[in-house]
Amino acid sequence: MRNEEMLLIPGPTPVVDSIYDAMASETRGHTDPRFVAQYKASIEKTRELFNTDGEVFVVAGSGTIAMEMALVNTVAAGERLLIISQGYFGDRFIQLGKAFGIEIDVLQAEWGKQVAAEEVERMMKEHTYKAVTITHADTSTGVAADLETLVPIVKQHGALVIVDGVCATAAMEEDMQKEYGDAGHTIDVVLTGSQKAIGVPPGLAIVAFNQTALAARKKIERVPAYYCDIANWIPIMQDPSKYFATPPVNLIYAYDEGMKLVLDEGLTKRYARHTSFGRAVRAALKVYGMQPLADETVAASTLSCILYPEGVDDAAFRSTLAKKGIIVAGALAHLAGKAFRIGHMGNTTEDMLATAVEQIGNTLVELGHEVSVDEAVRRFKEEVSAVV
Ligand SMILES: *Cc1c(COP(=O)(O)O)cnc(C)c1O
């Protein structure tokens, strides 16, 4: 790999050489038939990833644009939205809802925990919601949402399910035709970005709408957006030779290559790999006395928020580790200084994570903590092979 540093923050994630190569290919006009064919191919791959019979949108923007597109095209001003929040990114829907005059209710979990299904059930009975947002993996806490339980509860009450997959897509299952619960309920909208578990540089917003969600858009008379109005993008997604706004040509090259890698690996295998990576990293770090914020039963497979043991200084730890070429992220909000976040998603490999476990141990030793590096690396290898 061309990378000089190992970017183990929860996005962007390590970019492999073939994606860099694709990105550095000659910039062509956005209506050049060769580019149009590739844009079309990347859209097809996106449909396959989500297994949707609806519409997908691949446009320039970050994950936040994707959140905005998901929301403004399904929930009109004055309609009601329930936000199931397991951290900072769940909370972002509060700001978004407010910006667009949407009536919001929020269920906030204690950081590190899931929102209780009974709470969701209670809110759904009390109010009529147009939609409910669920953050599949919250990047601040490393907590995953339990779609198996939540989707049926929301759908039974007739609301749309919007899944924020920015830190989950291509690592955790988001099959839009998968039937949840006895009545066969499905997810309506999934939104994501290019730079997390898909492993492509930042800059693409990716959203998928099923037929129910597309019908909801049609009922909204005036969407308070222009670039984010999916009605402007539907003709382009169906025929990318048409123009609405110039697509980021080189990022589309990179995305098409990134999606090829995702589909070539195979979704089932890729999801299992992420499950094992998450478990193995957390098991190994426990050897150092580093405890994950989230219990293993609710932990995301894409990233972990890890509490420091007594006496480890956040700034010293992360800068010493960075000198060894491993970049991890600080924790957010009230956990800043008390924890760090490590990504183990996308095109990250077993060898990379084994090296990271080793270097985290070496860093702790250098900072004067007595830990067994060999034992942690052994634990990592044992756990990683236990699942895959
Ligand atoms: C990173 C992230 C976002 C925001 O994406 P940007 O690309 O930074 O705009 C939203 N939701 C989740 C779950 C994320 O991890």
pLDDT digits (tens, 9 = 90+) for 338-347: 999 999 999 9
- Residues 189-211: pLDDT tens digits? 999 999 999 999 999 999 999 99
**Which residue CA neighbors atom 3 of ligand 1 most closely?**
63
Alpha carbon distance 98, 77 (integer Å): 9
Residue from 265, 230, 262 nearest 245 by CA? 230
**Nearest CA residue ID for atom 12, ligand 1:** 166
Model pTM score: 0.98
CA of 141 to the centre of ligand 1 (A): 13
Distance 32 CA to ligand 1 centre (A): 32
CATH architecture, range 17-264: 3-Layer(aba) Sandwich (3.40)
The class (CATH top level) of 266-387 is alpha beta
In 10 A of CB 366, how many CB atoms?
Answer: 14
| Ligand 1 pocket, Cβ-based, cut-off 6 angstroms | 11, 62-64, 89, 135, 138-139, 164, 166-167, 193
Q: What's the pLDDT tens digit per position in 99-152? A: 999 999 999 999 999 999 999 999 999 999 999 999 999 999 999 999 999 999
pLDDT band of residue 1 (cuts 50, 70, 90) is: confident
Distance 192 CA to ligand 1 centre (A): 8
Q: Residue whose CA is closest, atom 4 of ligand 1? A: 63
Locate the ligand 1 atom nearest the alpha carbon of residue 62 and give its number: 7
pLDDT digits (tens, 9 = 90+) for 17-75: 999 999 999 999 999 999 999 999 999 999 999 999 999 999 999 999 999 999 999 99
Cβ count within 10 A of residue 370: 8
- pLDDT band at 387, cuts 50/70/90? low
Q: Sign of torsion, CA 172 174 177 178?
A: positive
| C-alpha to C-alpha distance for 34 and 46, rounded to whole angstroms | 19
Q: Whose CA is nearest to atom 5 of ligand 1?
A: 63
Where exactly are the structural domains of the chain?
A: 17-264, 266-387
Measure 378 CA to ligand 1 centroid, in angstroms: 33
Q: What is the pLDDT of residues 243-300, one digit of tens each?
A: 999 999 999 999 999 999 999 999 999 999 999 999 999 999 999 999 999 999 999 9
CA 29 to ligand 1 centroid distance, Å: 29
Residue 202 CA: which ligand 1 atom is closest?
Answer: 7
Using the Cα atoms of residue 194, residue 195, residue 199 and residue 201 in order, give the sign of their dihedral: positive
Chain centroid, CA 93 distance in Å: 15
